[in-house]
Structure 1
Amino acid sequence: MIGILLVNLGTPEAPTTPAVRRYLREFLSDPRVVEIPRILWWPILNGPILLTRPARSARAYRSIWLDEGSPLLVHSQNLAAGLQQQYDSRQPGTVLVRLAMRYGQPSVATGLRALRDAGCEKIVVVPLYPQYSATTTAAIFDAVSAELRNWRNLPELVFLRDWHQHPRYIDALARSVRAHWEQNGRPDRLLLSFHGLPARNVALGDPYRAECERTTELLINALGLQPEQWIQTFQSRFGPARWLEPYTSVTLQELGKAGVGRVDCLCPGFVTDCLETLEEIAIGGKEIFLHAGGEQLHYISCLNADTAWIADFRAILDERIPWDDKLLRSPAATATLPLENPPTKEAAP
């Protein structure tokens, strides 16, 4: 049996100050996330940050919390369930899908052990980040490595690095934008907001910005937009250091002041909706834009567990799954579909 472990960033267990504090302590203690010497960072983290930020973040989480729980967890669970259903409908009993969180629960270690205990001799680890960064994708690799270090009998392992330029991913994004426009008309500007990263990280060799720009390039081409119809920005800036620019919040303020009436915002770096999309953009970004003079901000949801996207996602994964003679590749994985963005030589596997 083949195991697929989907791994997202993580979320607090509840929208409360203690739960958020536990989550932030684990998240911000990872040297992949904060590349500051521990001797300098530890007093800051355990002092002003963990004393003040959890209460503020808990209020933000409460504004988006679903009856079922955290949006990131709920949408990730639905994505995993949909993917499992896809495999069960064509190859029952051959693939087992599990979900894990890099920070919080269910943990990466728990997910890997569940697949091992179910008899999976081959495991495909899939970080739910389309664009690679050492702060995200590599952090998941670290967690996988830390767990497997304790195993005597290692599985055959496949680690999916990214899919930022895969035609099926680009097509799925383009479909979601077109569907929104068909129902609501077109905006004055389409804003593509990616999660930010300290500029220093990119200067040291992190490919994240280049992969975000490649996603943007392919999506804009698929939508047939002109330069004056769109803009790419980066959100979620934290601390005094310079982060990737232009900043989403500043750009929304400038667009409002410039008299731009309607902005539609899409976040192509997030597979599932979460605090950064629902609270920071759909609520906070809208307030910034309207206060600056804008008229409407429409947030276009992440792909989440959209049925067509799950089929596309499965096809992306099937290209990397180590199928053998007994687990033949499915028609969905081998069929040549009429894609709007045919693969290029640079396309990621």
Structure 2
Amino acid sequence: MSSGLRFTAADVDYLGGDDGRDALAAVAALLLSDATRIADVDTARRRFGDRAPVLIETVLLRRRAAAKFADPRAWLFTDEALQQATPESVAAHRARRLAGAVVHDVTCSVGAELASLRSVAAQVVGSDLDPVRVAMARHNVAGVDVLVADALRPVTRGTVVVADPARRAGGRRRFDPRDYTPALDALFDVYAGRDVVVKCAPGIDFTSLPRLGFAGEVEVTSLAGSVREACLWSAGLAEPGVTRRATVLDRDETLTDADADDCEVAPAGRWIVDPDGAVVRAGLVRHYAARHGLWQLDPEIAYLSGDERPAGVRAFEVLEQIDFNERRLRQALSAREVGAVEILVRGVDVDPDVLRRKLRVHGPHRISVVITRLGAGRDSRAVAYLCRPTH
């Protein structure tokens, strides 16, 4: 329901003052749901006149922010700033790696990273090119120096530079890092020789980074089962010998390419394990397998197997393996009286949603089907594992 309204510096002054805080408390008491929206907006307009839009927008943004922040009730956001804001636990993890450093967040936006950094860094300063976001950051992270400055025109020396370039323009995502704001290659050029930490989209092409001027460690971080970001740590901040890292915050687990990666390729055992997306994206599937006593089903596929599943990890207990085609799978599901099926696919050109509709299953039981490719070239074949899922 958020409208993406553009805030002004005067709006920020009002919202951060006593009158604004009282008005926000009153608007926060309204449901502002689809069913009550017209009546609630009318109520806000009658009470607060021209201030109603910024009050309503702020309340709605704070409600959305609860998915990223433990307590956003006093925060000020813009819609775009909230979309790009780092979840609090991810920012806290990054801040811990910078404990004791003097840090300058050169794209601080409304202050999400600053809030985590100020409790562990020796000193923190923030800057942003948008004066409205700077005003919001000063409100959100009181006591931290925040100024208006261009990230590509350094205003500090000897600091660790943290940057989170914007990856959207006009609501559209930009995939080429040279089209970020600021551009990734320009950042590395301007801060050459400095310790730099840059947040990027998890889908960034890692092989392109050296051409953009980056040398160091790529850390892929996941939270709540979802890959959230790739973070680039320049060589001076990277762990010696490490160029790739996967951090799974939910399980407090970290893997690097310096860890052992000796695992076998063998037929499925009792369990099939689908590694966390951060592990897969960082290219550390073999390292994960070696740590947990698992093996690969195929050397090019990320599914793993084992006779025991790692503690706390979702896995699939293999009930039956068949060569995959729709007719054979439909027959196997019918024989087991399956009425609900979850389909996971890797290495095979199958759309799970389309296949699920074609299967037309009926019955009281639920099952998971893992479809993958085994072998290469003329020896390649698609197989389906009928499994009992665990959570």
The two structures have a TM-score, normalised by structure 2, of 0.27
Bigger RCO (CA 8 Å, 6+ sep)? 1
TM-score when scaled to structure 1? 0.29
**Would you tell me which structure has more strand in proportion to its own residues?**
2
Give the structure with higher Rg (CA): 2
